[in-house]
C-alpha cells in the first residue's frame, strides 16, 4: 500500500508541476490570455506543497520524483499534445520507474 500511495502522490505532484509550467507556455508561445499565470502560480505552489508531504529526505524525494515526472510528462504528451508515445518513449519511462523504485524503496543502512 505504501508503494501505491507514494507513486500516486508523485503522479499528482508531477501533474501540478507540468500544469504550472504548461499554462505560462500557452501564454508565451500560443498567445494565451495573461490570466493563465494565476492558475499556473497556484499549480506550482501545490506542486511544492505536495513534495513536502513525503516522509523521507528531500533530496531522495526529488531524485525519485524525477522518474515519475518523466512518465507523467509522456502521458501529457499523448493526452494533451496529441502525440502518441513511441516504443523508445515507453522504454525510457520504464527505466525511469525502475530508477525511482531503487531510490525510494531500496534498503537503507541502519
**Which of these, 59, 58, 53, 47, lies nearest to 23 by C-alpha position?**
47
23 found inside a domain? yes
Residue 28: burial class (beta carbons within 10 Å; 0-12, 13-18, 19+): exposed
110 found inside a domain? no
Provide the residue-wise pLDDT of the chain in tens; the chain has 110 residues: 777 888 899 899 999 999 999 999 999 999 999 999 999 999 999 999 998 888 777 788 888 889 889 999 999 999 999 999 999 999 999 999 999 888 888 877 86
Retrieve residue 9's grid coordinates: 502522490
Q: What is d(CA 51, CA 32) in angstroms, rounded to the nearest whole number?
A: 28
- Report the domain count for the chain: 1
51 found inside a domain? yes
**pTM flag (> 0.75):** yes
**Residue-range definition of the domain harbouring residue 76:** 2-105
27 found inside a domain? yes
Amino acid at each position: 500500500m505504501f508503494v501505491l500511495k507514494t507513486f500516486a502522490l508523485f503522479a499528482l505532484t508531477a501533474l501540478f508541476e507540468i500544469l504550472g509550467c504548461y499554462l505560462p507556455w500557452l501564454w508565451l508561445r500560443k498567445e494565451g490570455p495573461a490570466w493563465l499565470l494565476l492558475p499556473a502560480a497556484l499549480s506550482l505552489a501545490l506542486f511544492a506543497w505536495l513534495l513536502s508531504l513525503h516522509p523521507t529526505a528531500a533530496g531522495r524525494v526529488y531524485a525519485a520524483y524525477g522518474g515519475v515526472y518523466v512518465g507523467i510528462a509522456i502521458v501529457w504528451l499523448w493526452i494533451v499534445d496529441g502525440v502518441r508515445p513511441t516504443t523508445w518513449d515507453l522504454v525510457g519511462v520504464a527505466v525511469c520507474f525502475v530508477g525511482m523504485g531503487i531510490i525510494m524503496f531500496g534498503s537503507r543502512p541502519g
